[in-house]
Structure 1
Amino acid sequence: MLKATKEDKALVIKILTDSFNENQSVNYIVKQDKKRKDRITFLMDYSFDICLTFGEVFLSNDKKGCALVLYPDLKKFTLQSAILDIKLLLKSIGLSNASKAMSREKAIKSNYPQKPFYYLWFLGVSPDEQNKGIGTKLLTEIIQESIAKNRAIYLETSTLKNLPWYKKFGFYTYKELSFGYKLYMLKRG
């Protein structure tokens, strides 16, 4: 697993945009219009910047998969983060979706622990490279990283077929939320 840098940003954004193009949770947040794919791309751009600042961004050794990790206890309000949040609202979520997006985030965050944890925000593999073990290797290394940092891993997925895969790695569903689709909140450690 490689630690990504700013130079890897375009690659990471492409992998995540392609991986999450049809994802229910992502499409619930982004404004659904003719710019939908651009809005997903901007969401991934935003997420990359936030994780590079308040977490870590990883690439698989072959650079066909990536993971965005956030340390919520380190995230703080800065002028830079405020500007990023405003851009996210305008370029991805849309003003008409803002209330729905904020309500969803509040519901999710209310189910997080009060102690420091390892938040696996996104894990993606280029669609044409999926089912070749890239995600498995990346998740295994992420688990090792979280153990070394003594932090439990939390994540959410709206993709039902991912649940058995995560379970294989010791994750369990500790909460289900409904937003017109099911969002499964998982934990390991």
Structure 2
Amino acid sequence: MGVGIRRGGVGDRERIVGVLDRAFMDDPVSGWVFPGVEYRRVRHSGLMGAFTDATLADGYVDLLEDDSAVALWMDVPDEPHADDGEDVPALVREAVDPDNARIEEIARLLDGVHPQGRAHTYLWMIGVAPERQGEGLGTALMAPVLDRCDRAGRPAYLEASSARSRGLYERLGFTVMDHPLQLPDGPTMWPMWREPQAG
């Protein structure tokens, strides 16, 4: 599939947040974090904005040229950076929705399953506009980064938030790690790892 991909910057923030907000509005994990459709419509974009800001600061965002899909990536070192004493999950909760403990809870749960001790590329989120899902755009957006990982001998990691996305990632060479993450009274997430593939 011939799709144009560009690197996103701060000037693209609203576009990025808009695609993620729409792409994940009906996602099972978003429904758990923000139960109730109206509540989710009001608060969800704030969390997508926090994720986008963190990635623009410390990672990189790839967008399709028509803004129909975005991917948030982070390169994770062998050893985690020294922590400056800030409680990031609590700060995100405070900034996005102080009364919603699940924002902080999911951040802590995901931190707990994220692999440590080996450098890797982390696909934090990938979102495709709902009307374009099923066209292979997510695969097209991921392919160049996974190719770079393969050439560099670098593994990749992500958490699948639905059975459908898990199937896509398995086709791209990711495998489910030891244990799925069962959110309390909520859906399952699947931490997935991809070893570099031989060309």
TM-score range, shorter chain: 0.7 to 0.9
- Counterpart of 2:149 in structure 1 is 146
Q: Which amino acid aligns with 1:107?
A: G
Q: Which amino acid aligns with 1:126?
A: A
The answer to whether residue 110 in structure 2 is matched with residue 105 in structure 1 is yes
Q: How many angstroms does 1:113 deviate by?
A: 2.8
Q: 2:74 aligns with which of 57, 70, 74?
A: 70
Q: Is the 8 A contact 2:93 2:100 kept in 1?
A: no
- Counterpart of 2:189 in structure 1 is 183
- Counterpart of 2:173 in structure 1 is 170
Residue deviations 1:122-174 (CA, integer Å, cap 9, x gap): 11111111122211211212212333554311111121122221111111111
- Counterpart of 2:46 in structure 1 is 42
Q: Is the 8 A contact 1:30 1:97 kept in 2?
A: no
Partner secondary structure for residue 67 of structure 2: coil
Q: Is the 8 A contact 2:128 2:137 kept in 1?
A: yes
- Counterpart of 2:19 in structure 1 is 15
**Distance (Å, rounded) in 1 between the aligned partners of 2:145 and 2:30:** 22
Change (3 A) 1:146 1:76: farther
Q: Is the 8 A contact 1:42 1:92 kept in 2?
A: yes
**Distance (Å, rounded) in 1 between the aligned partners of 2:82 and 2:24:** 27
Structure 1 gap ranges (5+): none
Q: Which amino acid aligns with 1:69?
A: W
* TM-score between both structures, scaled by the size of structure 1: 0.83
Q: Is the 8 A contact 2:19 2:127 kept in 1?
A: yes
Structure 2 gap ranges (5+): none
* TM-score between both structures, scaled by the size of structure 2: 0.79
**Distance (Å, rounded) in 1 between the aligned partners of 2:43 and 2:90:** 14
Number of equivalenced pairs: 185
**Distance (Å, rounded) in 2 between the aligned partners of 1:85 and 1:182:** 20
**Distance (Å, rounded) in 2 between the aligned partners of 1:121 and 1:95:** 24
**Distance (Å, rounded) in 2 between the aligned partners of 1:67 and 1:34:** 26
Residue deviations 1:24-71 (CA, integer Å, cap 9, x gap): 223333475844223211111111111111111110233211100123
Partner secondary structure for residue 180 of structure 2: strand
Change (3 A) 1:104 1:31: farther
Q: How many angstroms does 1:92 deviate by?
A: 3.0
**Distance (Å, rounded) in 2 between the aligned partners of 1:75 and 1:163:** 29
- Counterpart of 1:124 in structure 2 is 127
**Distance (Å, rounded) in 2 between the aligned partners of 1:6 and 1:122:** 17
**Distance (Å, rounded) in 2 between the aligned partners of 1:132 and 1:56:** 23
Q: Is the 8 A contact 1:14 1:41 kept in 2?
A: yes
Q: Is the 8 A contact 1:153 1:188 kept in 2?
A: yes
Q: Which amino acid aligns with 1:137?
A: A
